[in-house]
Amino acid sequence: MSDITKKKMEEIAQMWNARGKGLITHMALEIEEVSSEGVRVRMPFNPDFCVDADQTLLHGGILTALLDSVFGLANFVAIDGVSTMATLDLRVDYLRPAYSRADVIVRAHCFRKTRHIAFNSGSVWFEGHEDAEIARGTASFALTRGGTDLFDAMTKGKTS
Amino acid sequence: MDVQTANANVSRVPFFRFLNFEIRSLDNLHAEAEMTFDDRHIGNPVMEYYHGGIIASFMEATAAIAVQPDFADVPAKPINLTVDYLRPGVKGPLFARANVTRKGKRMASVSVITWQTDREKAVAEGLYHFLLV
């Protein structure tokens, strides 16, 4: 059962997209589905994220960055009243070479949340090839609660 | 391989240019690199900390260079990684040192540490595996 309202979820998605700077802006992420059960996000192809001269093979690191970002979003929507959130650890398996110029799709969810810790997992594939995952990741996040809500801090931070 | 040639290889990789780092030292079992902070590296827009994924990417890049500085087309193939985030990476240069703990015919295991002003105060530590075949 969701412990945050649908409206707040939409606000979170909107705020996340509107962040004025940083890696998320460069990844040009598009949130496709968002609920407390999990999120689905699209990353359009970007030649800057490739390792080869032909620019068709994505670097693993960008998939790791994508998972880390989307885990954060999944926690945002699944957990209410978080004031800070930091990645504690992250494990990523690169299951196949990421050889394509197709958009990348990632699905992630928070499978367990406690007062201090959130546990996440997620999968990454190229659009249309959900049966051929290119990466899978798990992570844990340290949460603090009380004080300024992270959502409010980010909304304000955006304009500064 | 000398540092200059290694950096020439680094500059061929689009994503390494996006990360914007340089190899500072290199021998058979180690590589050290320095990444210059850029707004596009930001993960937390309020505090302007490095994105965890950028830190992990920089560590992966440094590890791949330590394993195979003379790569032909693409850097060494990564299998998987685990990263422990110990401190926030604040605005400023980030350093990485990759140590090849084992390099066989097919596989390599590399540990990486990153820091900012004090080598003893790690920002993150990671373990990376590469496929060499």
CATH number for B126: 3.10.129.10
Residues in B 75-104 with any Cβ partner in A closer than 8 A? 75, 77-85, 88
Out of A47, A87, A90, whose CB is closest to B14? A47
How would residue A10 be classed by pLDDT, with cut points 50, 70 and 90?
Answer: confident
Domain span including residue B108: 3-131
Name every chain B residue with its beta carbon within 8 A of the beta carbon of A49: 14-15, 18
Q: Do A90 and B60 touch (CB under 8 A)?
A: no
Query: How many beta-carbon pairs under 8 angstroms link A with B?
Result: 128
The chain-wide mean pLDDT, for chain B, equals 96
- Between A9 and A64, name the one with better pLDDT: A64
Rounded to an integer, the average pLDDT of A55-66 is 98
Minimum distance, in Å, between the CA of residue A7 and any CA atom of chain B: 23
Q: Residues of B50-66 as b/e, b for ≥16 C-beta within 10 angstroms?
A: bbbbbbbbbbbbbbbbb
Rounded to an integer, the average pLDDT of A43-64 is 97
What ipTM was reported for this prediction? Answer: 0.96
pLDDT value at A34 more than 70: yes
Q: What is the pLDDT of residues A95-117, one digit of tens each?
A: 999 999 999 999 999 999 999 99
B10 touches chain A (CB under 8 A): no
Out of A48, A55, A65, whose CB is closest to B54? A65
Name every chain A residue with its beta carbon within 8 A of the beta carbon of B19: 61
How would residue A19 be classed by pLDDT, with cut points 50, 70 and 90?
Answer: low
Q: According to the 3-state scheme, what is the secondary structure of A31-98? A: EEEEECCEEEEEECCCHHHECCCCCCEECHHHHHHHHHHHHHHHHHHHCCCEEEEEEEEEEEEECCCC
- Would the CA dihedral through A124, A130, A134, A136 be positive or negative? positive
* Minimum CA–CA partner of B57 in chain A: A61
Minimum distance, in Å, between the CA of residue B87 and any CA atom of chain A: 9
* Minimum CA–CA partner of B86 in chain A: A88
Nearest to A73 by CA among A128, A19, A135, A115: A19
How high is the pLDDT of residue A16? 72
Note whether B52 and A68 are within 8 A (CB): yes
Number of domains in chain B: 1
